Structure 1
């Protein structure tokens, strides 16, 4: 294939970007002479940059916060800058969730002056693309495969195995230093009590109790993880645990975060970005879900390495879902029966089963 300029859009969060890795790698491997640019958001930039080392082609990354701020001036400035690049192909890996999102894509592509566009015909909203892959939000298809289907429209082959992230040496050195005193002494387990949407959070008190159980009954060392905004939650949990058996990792770079998770033998987490990072480094996961499409968002890895827990959508007193896999889009929720009804015993049982299956101990 000749030299081309290709733009890939992956403007989702940490989990979305981790799940896009196989699709992006497929483009890089199939177009070794192309100039490929990935447009992303600042918090996920490092994930895409980690692919540069193994890329046969010329991979560039542009990050924008315009999607978070919603600033029109930011979008106009970005389009003006990118239009000068003269992209011949644009590939959008994300679902078109609303009619407004479809219009935004049409305006964006018009502004760039690119006519060969590939994307997802999400519930019939893919009219802005010249080529589109079938996509139904409530279908059983996993998000990794939905993204791969888009790049397969170009006639290329993609590896449908689990996304794989390789952490930089400097970040692995950080993880080694952090966990050095626990090396070889037993199970290192992670708990991730936060989530981008508070509506998807298992109660902090429940995470505190599972951490105590891991330490007292499983002789584990516990790492409490989270973003900078979740530091207070992590601190409240850490305060209840023995200081020599618990550590906090909050607010560090995503690759340092991944390098720490990589050293774990078990990761108990809400449905959030770090869950997909853990899957991409092959760590056994107990994943706690609220009302969402479990088939679409479960950890994409070997079935023996994860267990998901999700309650029936009929529990929700706030909304009646038309489909059992319809996603709740609430950012906050006063009731959260879907998460609060997950019991400590269910999580313990899942953790024990995973550890028994894998004979997992400390991975450092």
Structure 2
């Protein structure tokens, strides 16, 4: 334990699933350091994932992606970081492990922790840290985040503790329209049909078959016009309902109220795990063992592809080969397991 740590900055910029994987550590940091101040630096697009969390003192929104479109934006971002460097952080922890996140960390403080050169794809990032943490890059992402955040503060988060975690996504003033879509007579199943790459997305035709077979209150969320069109296709060929576009705050609220989430390897699906809600995550060209934490209620189904976490193949569309009946049967198993435990 470090006696002189009163104020820390966590740098975890993106993406939604990666941020969620790191957030699990917050409750354990506060347990070990009850009075610590925690500021979190994040890309503005994902800030709502962090909002209303009682363990975070300040969420600092960056817009580093704007630099790609307008090089002059680098000056405003540097100015913002220099302003926050005046906060005199006792420790800055880069949980991202990229060169750009390491540079952000360097602006924020003298004492910086992060992955060592053997633990991250962008080995140059480790050059910026004064304290370096070792854990293999192909290890489970949730364990990696827990390790870099806890080891930097000289305590440990065990696998058993993560399994017993408290839900750690919070919401306030959500869009009340979400409650109009919930059913108190049928099981509410939320389908997350989008993903960051087309090759991470399951077949919309098979999603429709699953929905018709389950015959429950099946809801679809979407985030882009392409996803909206896919959602409408599923609606027109099944009994599903398509929700209006939701912000992340209302999405957290919705997921906390459903009975099961079925979706691709993407942020909203990982929200279910964070909220202790049952989930089935579908994997094709990304590694299931690395991107999820299996529990009695959080399950995965993988395609038959052999996935190399060091070099993902975006042209691997094997997720579409997953048999829809396998998903239906796993959903029934989860429901039966909860029923046997008296949770329904």
Q: CA deviation at 1:292?
A: 2.1
| C-alpha RMSD of matched pairs (Å) | 2.8
Establish whether residue 9 from structure 1 lines up as the match of residue 8 from structure 2.
no
Instruction: Name the SS of the counterpart of 1:84 in structure 2.
Output: helix
Counterpart Cα distance in 1 of 2:147 and 2:322 = 34
Q: CA deviation at 1:108?
A: 3.2
Which residue number in structure 2 is paired with residue 129 of structure 1? Answer: 129
Q: 1:105 to 1:75 in 2, by over 3 A?
A: same
Would you say the 8 A contact 1:222–1:247 is kept in 2?
A: yes
Counterpart Cα distance in 2 of 1:176 and 1:275 = 19
Establish whether residue 120 from structure 1 lines up as the match of residue 115 from structure 2.
yes
Instruction: Name the SS of the counterpart of 1:6 in structure 2.
Output: strand
Q: Which of the numbers 342, 346, 350 marks the counterpart of 2:330? A: 350
Which residue number in structure 1 is paired with residue 222 of structure 2? Answer: 226
Counterpart Cα distance in 2 of 1:110 and 1:18 = 23
Q: Which of the numbers 130, 144, 147 marks the counterpart of 2:142? A: 144
Structure 1: state its 5+ residue gaps.
315-320
Q: Which of the numbers 273, 284, 287 marks the counterpart of 2:281? A: 287
Give CA-to-partner distance per residue, 1:63-106, whole Å, 9 cap, x none.
11214653533432332222232323101112x3xxxx33x355
Counterpart Cα distance in 2 of 1:211 and 1:17 = 30
Q: 1:256 to 1:61 in 2, by over 3 A?
A: same
Counterpart Cα distance in 2 of 1:263 and 1:108 = 37
Counterpart Cα distance in 1 of 2:235 and 2:76 = 40
Q: CA deviation at 1:174?
A: 4.8
Q: 1:172 to 1:160 in 2, by over 3 A?
A: farther
Which residue number in structure 1 is paired with residue 233 of structure 2? Answer: 236
Would you say the 8 A contact 1:224–1:247 is kept in 2?
A: yes
Would you say the 8 A contact 2:11–2:104 is kept in 1?
A: no
State TM-score, norm by structure 2: 0.84
Q: CA deviation at 1:347?
A: 1.8
Counterpart Cα distance in 2 of 1:308 and 1:282 = 15
Give CA-to-partner distance per residue, 1:169-225, whole Å, 9 cap, x none.
53385543442xx22x1111111111122220012222122122222xxxx111011
State TM-score, norm by structure 1: 0.79
Would you say the 8 A contact 1:292–1:326 is kept in 2?
A: no
Would you say the 8 A contact 1:287–1:308 is kept in 2?
A: yes
Would you say the 8 A contact 1:106–1:128 is kept in 2?
A: yes
Counterpart Cα distance in 2 of 1:214 and 1:178 = 17
Which residue number in structure 2 is paired with residue 210 of structure 1? Answer: 210
Structure 2: state its 5+ residue gaps.
none
Which residue number in structure 1 is paired with residue 246 of structure 2? Answer: 252
Q: Which of the numbers 277, 289, 298 marks the counterpart of 1:306? A: 298
Counterpart Cα distance in 2 of 1:122 and 1:176 = 47
Would you say the 8 A contact 1:9–1:91 is kept in 2?
A: yes
Would you say the 8 A contact 2:13–2:101 is kept in 1?
A: no
Which residue number in structure 2 is paired with residue 30 of structure 1? Answer: 32
Would you say the 8 A contact 2:202–2:319 is kept in 1?
A: yes
Which residue number in structure 2 is paired with residue 198 of structure 1? Answer: 198
Counterpart Cα distance in 2 of 1:31 and 1:357 = 37
